[in-house]
Amino acid sequence: MKLLVIGEARDGELRNVTFEAVAAAKKIDSDAEIVGVLCGSDDLNESGQEVIYHGADRVVTVTHDNLESYTSEGYSQAVMAVIEDESPDGIVMGHTAIGKDLTPKLAAKLGTGLISDATDIENDGDKAVFTRPIYSGKAFEKKVMTSGLTFATIRPNNIPALERDASRSGDVTSKEVDVKDINTVIKDVIRKASEGVDLSEANVIVAGGRGVKSAEGFEPLYELADILGGAVGASRGACDAEYCDYSLQIGQTGKVVTPDLYIAVGISGAIQHLAGMSNSKVIVAINKDPEANIFNVADYGIVGDIFEVIPKLTEELKQTV
Amino acid sequence: MNIYVLLKRTFDTEEKIIVSDGRIEDESAEYIINPYDEYAVEEAIKQRDEHGGEVTVITVGDEESEKQLRTALAMGADKAVLINTEDDVEDGDQFTTAQILHAYFEDKEADLILGGNVAIDEASGQVGPRLAESLGINYVTTITALEIDSDTAKIDKDVEGDVEKIETSLPLLVTCQQGLNEPRYPSLPGIMKAKKKPLEELELDDLDLDEDDVEAKTETIDVFLPPEKEAGRVLEGEIDDQVKELISLLKDDAKVL
């Protein structure tokens, strides 16, 4: 079996989900030959080596000026050229902004199925079985491919990457592709996301709700998230009240997250919010209302004034972490 | 402008999910228009009001989906199409839906097709891009602003919190993200008018499709609920002590710090 793993970089750095996708491919078939695919406008040799250190057997790179930024048109031309060369039995990619945008286009071109947003993969001896959340994590389903390629995207942060092993070796080869006819042009990018840590990949999330009361009220949450190397999220209530941007929203509309640690601050815990975060490993709730529904899913709760608790928590962590 | 909206009927976000025999019980559930598709309906109406033309909402579903189509008509869409697959498709997937929509759109001259960026039930987000690819038209997913000037579209696209300023051309398919607009509620006169607006019902036959043409490429073999989360410990004592205790619990018991 030969499996293709489509990697992805952000600001020149390979995203961790690329390595998770390699591990996912191994779960589909532990004996498979795993071929990484990287697209970009600069030299990708070093990135290619990293993918090999994380478990790929070899890597094919496509470099072209038209691949500097992701566009579905550019990337699909590059990846399709590699698919035609390699005739893989399966393809794996991260379920990221790029993965979500690109993979349905590839699936349509190839006339295949696609299992999106898998959080686990097991091989039952015959074929790969993919577990994925439905209804924003209120339930899960197990899916299999019934015909054609095995094609899946995986949710970041769920399938652990393999340990980096710099003694591994493999070929990084480049493929010439004439990437052209880009009709959808990115004129500019406005950076709004919190620096560094992306919500969907964060190990720690500090999320605020209506109880945070204002945009300024989010400041202590950012400080806490900073200390913990985490990201800040929000409930719909906080977004609707314009305390923060909709891109931070966690819930049934918004992002579904599964960090190691989720700290819910001034969040009451509506069912729609719980759908987006209740599969987090450890949940801490801080709320002045002891009856708040969030305490029903929290591992640890503090009943108290968030404006008193959060700064104290940050101070204390500064001394211990 | 010829504007189409892809719409899906989904469980209300308030619904708890009940599973029996590996299937989700849907007997007593309340249904809504998929919230992301509501942004698409709203945007379609706005674009029509600005540029003229007609808004057609289309769904692949069963008879029950008429209710959500009527709601979209009550919001202000002009026409609705229900592709009823009740008798023909047992367990479709995103390939199935995209094939059906492709057959429908093949002889239409759509300038703009809008859909939600994801449905809150299956949440795969595949159908829009699949359809655009099969029709050979441009697409942009997760948009938060859309400005059309004759054949050119200027778009804000949400990329994990950053905004890409994109320019592309019609015909175009876009999928809508929260923040694009504030969907209106149907007005009472709107609801009255909606009852008389045209709603066309089609089956696979009418689209020259066989069941084989749309046979799913994937199969769901099980559905289950996540383990019930038990309520944990609410800490007690002075806030200072609670904070210290919390940190040691996170460090030593939960091992997440």
pTM score, whole prediction: 0.93
- Cα–Cα distance for residue pair B209/A293, rounded to 1 Å: 49
Name which of B165, B225, B233 is nearest A139 (Cβ-Cβ).
Answer: B225
Residues A85 and A203 in one domain: no
Residue A184 lies in a domain: no
Residues B169 and B42 in one domain: yes
Residue A187 lies in a domain: no
Q: DSSP secondary structure string, B80-118?
A: EEEEE-TTT-SS--HHHHHHHHHHHHTT---SEEEEESS
Residues B256 and B195 in one domain: no
d(CA B209, nearest CA chain A) in Å: 16
A95, A201 Cβ separation under 8 angstroms: no
CA B128 → CA A100, A129, A185, A210, distances in Å? 11, 25, 19, 34
Which tokens in the block code for residue B40?
A: 């698409």
d(CA B2, nearest CA chain A) in Å: 21
Residue A79 lies in a domain: yes
Residue A193 lies in a domain: no
d(CA A271, nearest CA chain B) in Å: 6
- Cα–Cα distance for residue pair A103/A37, rounded to 1 Å: 14
Q: Across chain B, what does the average pLDDT equal?
A: 96
Q: Which of A109, A122, A178, A118 is nearest to A148 (CA)?
A: A109
A82 Cβ contact list (under 8 Å, min separation 6): A4, A37, A60, A62, A175
Q: Tally A–B CB contacts below 8 A.
A: 251
Q: Mapping DSSP to helix (H, G, I), strand (E, B) and coil, where does residue B238 land?
A: coil
**Statement: residue B200 has pLDDT above 90:** yes
Kindly identify which residue of chain A lies nearest to residue B227, measuring between CA atoms: A279
Looking at residue A247, what is its pLDDT? 87
Kindly identify which residue of chain B lies nearest to residue A73, measuring between CA atoms: B138
Looking at residue A194, what is its pLDDT? 58
Question: How far, in whole angstroms, is CA A234 from its chain's centroid?
Answer: 18
Residue B13 lies in a domain: yes
CA A178 → CA A60, A61, A88, A306, distances in Å? 15, 13, 21, 56
d(CA A301, nearest CA chain B) in Å: 4
- Cα–Cα distance for residue pair A163/A171, rounded to 1 Å: 19
Omega prior to A88 cis, within 30 of 0: no
Interchain pair B141, A101: CB under 8 A:
yes
Containing structural domain, residue A293: 199-320
Mean pLDDT value of segment A111-123: 97
Interchain pair B256, A281: CB under 8 A:
yes
Looking at residue A195, what is its pLDDT? 58
Query: Could you read off the pLDDT of A144-164 as tens digits, one per residue?
Result: 999 999 999 999 989 999 999
B166 neighbourhood in chain A, CB within 8 Å: 184-187
Query: Could you read off the pLDDT of B111-143 as tens digits, one per residue?
Result: 999 999 999 999 999 999 999 999 999 999 999
Residues B124 and B236 in one domain: no
- Cα–Cα distance for residue pair A107/A111, rounded to 1 Å: 6
Residues A209 and A154 in one domain: no
Interchain pair A96, B160: CB under 8 A:
yes
**Statement: residue A313 has pLDDT above 90:** yes
Q: What is the CATH number of the domain that holds A267?
A: 3.40.50.1220
Residues B146 and B244 in one domain: no
What ipTM, to 2 d.p.?
Answer: 0.94
The beta-strand segments (E) located in A15-57 are 33-40
- Cα–Cα distance for residue pair A318/A100, rounded to 1 Å: 38
**Statement: residue A192 has pLDDT above 80:** no
Beta bridge partners of B157: B143, B164
Q: Higher pLDDT residue, B134 or A191?
A: B134
Interchain pair B166, A185: CB under 8 A:
yes
Taking only Cα atoms into account, the Rg of chain A, rounded to an integer number of angstroms, comes to: 21
Residue A181 lies in a domain: no
Compute φ and ψ for A223, nearest 5 degrees. Answer: -65, -40
Interchain pair B168, A183: CB under 8 A:
yes
Residue A182 lies in a domain: no
**Statement: residue B165 has pLDDT above 70:** yes
Looking at residue B137, what is its pLDDT? 98
Best of A80, A198, A247 to substitute, by most chain B Cβ atoms within 10 angstroms, is A247
Which tokens in the block code for residue A63?
A: 């470099």
Interchain pair B235, A302: CB under 8 A:
yes
Interchain pair A312, B239: CB under 8 A:
yes
A114 neighbourhood in chain B, CB within 8 Å: 94-95, 124, 126, 217-218
Best of B34, B126, B240 to substitute, by most chain A Cβ atoms within 10 angstroms, is B126
Name which of A116, A147, A297 is nearest B125 (Cβ-Cβ).
Answer: A116
Kindly identify which residue of chain A lies nearest to residue B254, measuring between CA atoms: A282
**Statement: residue B229 has pLDDT above 90:** no
Residues B92 and B53 in one domain: yes
Best of B120, B138, B236, B244 to substitute, by most chain A Cβ atoms within 10 angstroms, is B120
Q: How confident is the model at residue B230 (pLDDT cuts 50, 70, 90)?
A: confident
DSSP type of residue A54: T
Name which of A114, A134, A146 is nearest B219 (Cβ-Cβ).
Answer: A146
**Statement: residue A196 has pLDDT above 60:** no
Q: What is the CATH number of the domain that holds A95?
A: 3.40.50.620
B35 neighbourhood in chain A, CB within 8 Å: 253
Domain count, chain A: 2
Containing structural domain, residue B81: 2-214
d(CA B193, nearest CA chain A) in Å: 30
Residue B37 lies in a domain: yes
Residues B237 and B210 in one domain: no
Interchain pair B168, A96: CB under 8 A:
no
The helix (H) or strand (E) run that includes residue B31 is: strand B31-33
CA A286 → CA A209, A263, A301, A303, distances in Å? 11, 8, 6, 6
Mean pLDDT value of segment B34-50: 98
Mean pLDDT value of segment A69-89: 97
Q: What is the CATH number of the domain that holds B178?
A: 3.40.50.620
B77 Cβ contact list (under 8 Å, min separation 6): B5, B41, B44, B45, B55, B56, B57, B197
Mean pLDDT value of segment A100-108: 98
Sign of the CA dihedral A266, A269, A273, A275?
positive
Residues B243 and B164 in one domain: no
Domain count, chain B: 2
Q: Mapping DSSP to helix (H, G, I), strand (E, B) and coil, where does residue B252 land?
A: helix
Interchain pair A114, B218: CB under 8 A:
yes
Rounded to 5°, angle at Cα A202 from A152 and A158: 35
A272 neighbourhood in chain B, CB within 8 Å: 13-14
DSSP type of residue A283: E
Best of A143, A155, A184 to substitute, by most chain B Cβ atoms within 10 angstroms, is A184
Residue B225 lies in a domain: no
Interchain pair A143, B220: CB under 8 A:
yes
The helix (H) or strand (E) run that includes residue B239 is: helix B239-248
Mean pLDDT value of segment B22-50: 95
Residues A219 and A263 in one domain: yes
Looking at residue A193, what is its pLDDT? 64
Residue A185 lies in a domain: no
Place of tokens 């149907």: B186
B244 neighbourhood in chain A, CB within 8 Å: 316
Residues B68 and B11 in one domain: yes
Interchain pair A228, B257: CB under 8 A:
yes
